[in-house]
Structure 1
């Protein structure tokens, strides 16, 4: 457990109001806070890292226009490209420290986050937008996350399916060699029992045999399942949907955040994803003012691209850091260790109404917010009620 002092809660809106009233001092003109981002900017997972960096830039530009953190401007350092590799992530972390980084929005992928977390423990404030493995934030009391853990995604999926009445008989098909998939699967099966769902088929495949799912799909079809839960990444899910259509499997499909990106898979017939649901905190087609403004700004800054949930999580990370920074009263001349300790204490005092929901944080660094899901209609995500 983390021994952090709790004080009166503040909202992000209140923190922003304080910022607007805080005069920019002469010192503020000379000193800036420096924020780093580490993630895969190139390679197979580049869409994750680039979305995080681009969204962090938009948020920091907005923050600076509104007065920065406590009247001090915020500088976003050049992104550290780890290509999803833990060793490269540690190298990127040390490079950003050499450039003056005082707080980190990252890393993006779980393995890299675990490696960097061990380096940053109790020294540099780490706030991952998307590192979902349990061990991403266990190394120090100065580590927080915006997303759900892998097991929590499984539990929340079971809760959502049950409470929305999507099915009573469910099947699961997952990669039994991948930690991400297994963690979600195990928690989902346990959660299904808790929420009154019957798992009528529990089928697995392995990472080195992820091209032919005919045997597993046949068993699922025979099981009488009404819904197929897919705790897998989008590339596998695209193949599964194709082969499920070939097998005339008539079920509802429900995935998790790893499925985000399926509509961009090369040569995938997106009509096969019609009606597919997935647990994700963000839809770029939502019509609330905050989402519309963010999506518009993102497109204008990035050649018309549409942000994904990684971008939305990163945007919320920056505003959560802002709220914590203003609650803590930190200044750029403080050491990384002092900034880290102050921010960590203040994270327990804030509540942020962000793109991905209204969030609070617990002593173990976990994000407490309600699950959201989207359904794919006409090739785009739509938020579910």
Structure 2
């Protein structure tokens, strides 16, 4: 089918779905958490599996991804007048072993492609399984290069860790935010250490001085005040935090206790800090981060998505939700054109998508003109946002 026709159908589906959305969920989906969806005839539907943490410390991410995938599938099915996609989502608690178990459960269900997992280590583990099975995998948010290195069937819609590290150093330098930089990162986490490595190299190129680079790991992250004090003692004017929001909330709390007031700058793992239970969100005022999505953006596409998500789930979508939403819509043209159909095996579908994804240009919530190379990495640019008056605002 002509690409322009496919693009037009895709745009129509998105517009129709966003305008008419209001109910929660996706027809036909159950998942491990149960379903609030109405039943539907799923004969001939392409079965999409989803995996992510619905419980545990990263549940903010997984819940956002699940909600957005449900929303996108519901919109598409309604706009097309039939069940094009059927979604089943499993909780992995952010644990690699549980994620593999979830993957096997979805295979038993009949999964033909996977949109997930959400976090890096589970995605590496599941990616290896999907490569063995030749099953197409598109992760919304696992940004480490190690994820797409598991096989030529694994793709990312989030920008990669190196991209985030380089872009963060560039943004700090180009906007003269600071010259003396402290870094606190998780050396046991592929996501965090990968960003730090690239940030460190680019910082040197850009004339930034890293005066303190303090690591922690999964076994000693209950108290990060020591790392923070070392940044303070070294005179860091800005502290770069390529870490997840839970640990970041600890650092901001500790900084307040010792009266340390540097600028704080993070990446997409910071998204969710305003939802940490028991955290004084006023401490996050002025925190900057790079992300692919800002909910307060004024373009029609973003505003329609935010309104639909809020109506369905009573919450403002974060970047993880936007990436997951884009994942589902990025797959729609292949179903509309007939390149993939429900009667194909998962392996047959994968063989088609491995080629088609590298020939695709996609405009979504998280980027315009997105393209993929054969490695599975996406090309798009991050956006800078700041927390202002308790909400994310575009810089």
Q: Tell me the TM-score normalised to structure 2 length.
A: 0.85
The 2-side partners of 1:286 and 1:323 are apart by: 26
Residues 177 and 138 of structure 1, relative CA distance in 2, 3 Å threshold: closer
- Choose which of 176, 182, 186 in structure 2 pairs with 1:175: 186
| Deviations 1:215-249 (CA, angstroms, capped at 9, x unpaired) | 44344234343321011221221121122223332
Whether the 8 Å CA contact 1:12–1:351 is kept in 2: the answer is no
2:6 touches 2:336 (CA, 8 Å); kept in 1? no
1:348 is paired with a residue of what secondary structure?
helix
* CA shift for structure 1 position 90: 2.0
What's the offset of the Cα at 1:10?
6.4
What CA distance in whole angstroms lies between the structure 2 residues aligned with 1:47 and 1:253? 21
Structure with bigger RCO (C-alpha 8 Å, 6+ apart) = 1
Match of 2:209 among 195, 198, 209: 198
Q: Aligned match of 2:94 in 84, 88, 93?
A: 84
Q: How does 1:330-341 map to 2 (within 5 A)?
A: 330-341=340-351
Quickly say closer, same or farther: Cα 1:147–1:11, change in 2 above 3 A. farther
Whether contact under 8 Å (2:13, 2:75) holds in the other structure is no
CA distance in 2, matches of 1:243, 1:17: 47
In the alignment, structure 2 segments of 5+ residues that lack a partner are 15-40
Q: Structure 2 CA distance, aligned partners of 1:18 and 1:342?
A: 24
Once the two structures are superposed, the pairs formed by residues 94-105 of structure 1 within 5 Å of their partners are: 94-105=104-115
Query: For the residues of structure 2 that align with 1:55 and 1:236, how far apart are their CA atoms?
Result: 25
| 323-332 or 362-371, larger mean C-alpha shift | 323-332
Q: Quick check: 1:298 aligned with 2:324? A: no
Is structure 2 residue 272 aligned with structure 1 residue 284?
A: no
Contact 1:11 1:323 in 2 (8 A): no
> Secondary structure at the residue paired with 1:347?
helix
Tell me the distance in 2 between the aligned counterparts of 1:184 and 1:199. 14
Render the CA deviation track for 1:153-203: whole Å, top value 9, x for unaligned: 212211222233322332212233333322221111111112232222223
Corresponding pairs, count: 367
- For 1:317-337, what per-residue CA distance to the aligned partner results, in whole angstroms no more than 9, with x for missing partners? 011111344467222212211
CA distance in 1: counterparts of 2:11 and 2:56, whole angstroms: 41
Matches within 5 A, 1:346-361: 346-358=356-368, 359-361=370-372
Task: Indicate how the Cα distance of structure 1 residues 187 and 10 shifts in structure 2: closer, same or farther if over 3 A, else same.
Answer: farther
Aligned equivalents of 1:194 and 1:324: distance in 2? Answer: 42
Corresponding residue for residue 125 of structure 1: 136
Match 2:195 to one of 184, 189, 196: 184
Q: Find out whether 1:308 has 2:313 as its counterpart.
A: no
> Tell me, which stretches of 5 or more residues in structure 1 are unaligned?
1-7, 21-27
3-state SS of 2:298 partner? coil
